[in-house]
Structure 1
């Protein structure tokens, strides 16, 4: 029986990864000692924005961070709404009395900006954000399970990255890997999580109906 479902944010609830990359590149380029590329940014994913910026800027990272928040807010027109059907899926889970939470690698401030822009700021019973030091999703999963007295076979995490499946394996729970964002890599997801890859939101909803 499913008691709790936690969602990732970027690439899962909305197609925000291109926006995140663009905001980071614009913010840190004036402070970096080399041109920042998309590859540079992607290699820092899993950390929150503080950790991401520190990873590519040696000096003045605080100012780069403030610039990032301005660019991030300004560029949110690139990601104006959630994926079609995601809100309906969340409502469906709530109707089944399933606890719905959010676990994201984003920092608290950028997460707050995005949830407000998408109208999702009152959607989740709990929001756990990322760390600047290391990816912390496995720890976040265990924290929520303990807090809400949910067993491993009663918990699912919905995420778009291979690292999400790795974190779930570490925490001993099932990852529902999704591949409906533009930058999704379904082949890599199927290599690491072959039984649980969903190409559409409808497919994922059908999984929960069973």
Structure 2
């Protein structure tokens, strides 16, 4: 692998343990509207599009109310995840100090992304942020947009860091090396391994050490 000049991060499950927060906010916002108890699996199955897509899938007749309620609960419940994973801020600072360009491509919608980045206090580290849409996953498109922005950097000098199988497939679709982040409690390392990421790490310390050796 060439020296890394740019890092593109996912958000949920990669920078912070926000997936349990997402599930709780969906449950609290949607269940009263549809009068039906939702399992974690029912909620997770809708992931890929932004939260607007999840509301559309689970409570289409209450779309506007569902969105506003979700964002309200997401903000209110964010104390479930008050800070990024240990080591993330130190890593972002180290990358900045080495003039490595940093971006984010997430499936989250813009509003929930803004809430989390403000809560974590890390928005200033990202040169560009691509968020999700209700219609479906657009990670490959988002990664390509970052590549277009970083046009003086080659694809093999960029890595995408994400915790989901879809992160690996999107990165491979665009032709960018991908690091599987398996350090969240919600990560499924075996499923990630099956897709043959370029690297896989189950803790941020080892990932940070590897990354600093390759920038």
* TM tier relative to shorter chain: over 0.9
- 2:157 equivalent to 1:157: no
3-state SS of 1:141 partner: helix
State how many pairs are aligned.
Answer: 210
Contact 2:178 2:197 in 1 (8 A): no
CA distance in 2, matches of 1:194, 1:200: 16
3-state SS of 1:2 partner: coil
- RMSD over aligned CA atoms reads 1.2
When the two structures are superposed, what TM-score results if normalisation uses the length of structure 1?
0.96
Deviation at residue 33 of structure 1 after TM alignment? 5.8
Listed as ranges, the matches of 1:1-210 within 5 Å are: 1-32=3-34, 34-149=36-151, 150-193=153-196, 195-208=198-211, 209-210=213-214
3-state SS of 2:15 partner: coil
CA distance in 2, matches of 1:63, 1:119: 28
Deviations 1:36-81 (A, max 9, x none): 2211110111111111110111312100111111111111110011
- Greater mean alpha carbon deviation, residues 87-96 or residues 106-115: 87-96
3-state SS of 2:60 partner: coil
Deviations 1:83-111 (A, max 9, x none): 00011111111122110011110000000
CA distance in 2, matches of 1:102, 1:118: 14
When the two structures are superposed, what TM-score results if normalisation uses the length of structure 2?
0.94
Contact 1:177 1:193 in 2 (8 A): no
- Greater mean alpha carbon deviation, residues 54-63 or residues 33-42: 33-42
Mark the runs of 5 or more structure 1 residues left unpaired by the alignment: none
Contact 2:180 2:197 in 1 (8 A): no
After superposing on structure 2, the runs of 4+ consecutive aligned residues of structure 1 that deviate more than 4 Å are none
